[in-house]
Amino acid sequence: MSSIQHSRFLSALAKQPVDCTPVWIMRQAGRYLPEYRAVREQIKDFMTLCKTPERACEVTLQPLARFPLDAAIIFSDILTIPDAMGLGLYFENNEGPKFKHRIQNMQDVNALSVPNVEQDLDYVFAAIRLVIKELPSHIPLIGFSGSPFTLATYMVEGGGSKNFHRIRQFLYTEPEALQLLLEKLTTAVTGYLLSQIAAGARTVMIFDTWGGILTTESYQRFSLQPMSKIVAKLKQQHPNVPVILFTKNGGLWLREMSDSGADALGLDWTINIGRARQLVGDKVALQGNMDPAILYSTGDRIRQEVAAILDNYGPGSGHIFNLGHGIHPDIPPDNVKILVDAVHELSRTKHMATI
């Protein structure tokens, strides 16, 4: 058997039999871990950490040393692409990301050049190469990117946002400029993910954190279409590398997403995973979808929730357990251990009847 067949995570993505349900956690390397905070004490600037391959490798591996997770995700950020496009990304004391320059009109979009990903984002690929040397072969590394629409949102807003006024205004007043921006980002994201695969990523995930703010029609045109183009390009070159799409608040559009060519869809916690399975049928695997806030609760309550999600998914493979969004920085790491163990233990009896 090849090492790929030994990976629970890759088997579940291919809807092939597994001994138990694989699990990893969005933002599994992050501030809830004291060892991550210790690194951040030494490297105060978040992007410097991302741009130092040895240290990015170290923090990627931190959660795997503590918990029997079934996949690693490269430590980086979705905003590396706008950073490489010269927007001047910075993080100010826990206020989230900000850009020195934001995109306001067609002139700004015309002035943007697609980055030379191999060169400008070489630190990401260097970190990937270091990580895969350290990982056992049954633990695949996930590469990732933001979706074109989510990246455009940050670039037009100039950072995070609560009500998304600027991007929603831009969409209706400058649709051609948005379209061109998305085309440039689609090219950049495609090249970025191809290079991550070349460096050793064995699955890639596209984070569409803000597609869920759109109308159904705009979602199709401005978010799903660019993502589908990326999936098609990746599949042309790497038919066997699974692609996961995650639109936060995208539960209404799962059926359309399942036609994108992606292998799996990420789910936030708002949809019942059994209902999601009915909507997508056999087309894709599903990843998710526990409310991250459950991790504030007791061990018993966490186990109960894990059991409920496994029951809702039902028998058979095709489920990768995860949270519905990133883990909060103030979660006790012991509760993550309870979660990971519960997924492995409870799924052996619940999911695996078909083996």
What is the CB-side half-sphere exposure of residue 266 using CA atoms within 13 A?
Answer: 27
- When the beta carbons of 96 and 332 are compared against ligand CP3, the nearer one is 96
* Binding track, positions 38-77, relative to ligand CP3; x by CB under 6 A: --x-----x--------------------------x-x-x
Helix, strand or coil, per DSSP, at residue 259: coil
Does 208 qualify as catalytic in the annotation? no
Q: Which two tokens stand for residue 310?
A: 């496994």
Contact 189, 152 (CB under 8 A): no
Of 17, 86, 158, 160, which lies in the binding site for ligand CP3, with binding defined by CB under 6 A?
160
Of 21, 28, 147, 322, which lies in the binding site for ligand CP3, with binding defined by CB under 6 A?
28
What separation, in Å, do the N-terminal and C-terminal C-alpha atoms of the chain show? 17
| Cβ-proximal residue to ligand CP3, closest one | 209
Non-local (6+) Cβ contacts of 200 within 8 A are 128, 129, 131, 132, 141
- When the beta carbons of 26 and 185 are compared against ligand CP3, the nearer one is 26
Give me the helix-helix angle, 225-237 and 148-157, nearest 10°: 130
Q: Which two tokens stand for residue 249?
A: 């608040």
Does 27 qualify as catalytic in the annotation? yes
**Cα 270–chain centre separation:** 17
96 binds ligand CP3 (CB under 6 A): yes
User: Which residue type is seen at 169?
Assistant: Q
Q: In this structure, is the dihedral angle defined by the CA atoms of residues 228, 4, 145 and 238, taken in order, positive or negative?
A: negative
Does 154 qualify as catalytic in the annotation? yes
Give me the helix-helix angle, 299-313 and 273-280, nearest 10°: 20
- When the beta carbons of 49 and 346 are compared against ligand CP3, the nearer one is 49
Of 10, 13, 23, 29, which lies in the binding site for ligand CP3, with binding defined by CB under 6 A?
29
Closest approach, Cβ 154 to ligand CP3, in A, equals 7
31 binds ligand CP3 (CB under 6 A): yes
Closest approach, Cβ 314 to ligand CP3, in A, equals 27
Q: Any idea how long the chain is?
A: 355
Among residues 94, 246, 96, 82, which one has the least CA distance to residue 160? 96
Does 77 qualify as catalytic in the annotation? yes
Non-local (6+) Cβ contacts of 136 within 8 A are none
Q: Which of residues 196-215 bind ligand CP3 (CB under 6 A)?
A: 207, 209
Q: Given 8, 32, 55, 154, which residue is catalytic?
A: 154
Under rule CB under 6 A, how many of the chain's residues touch ligand CP3? 22
Q: Which of residues 99-128 bind ligand CP3 (CB under 6 A)?
A: none
Residues identified as active-site: 27, 31, 40, 77, 154
Name the site residues for ligand CP3 (rule: CB under 6 A). 26-31, 40, 46, 73, 75, 77-79, 94, 96-97, 144, 160, 207, 209, 248, 326
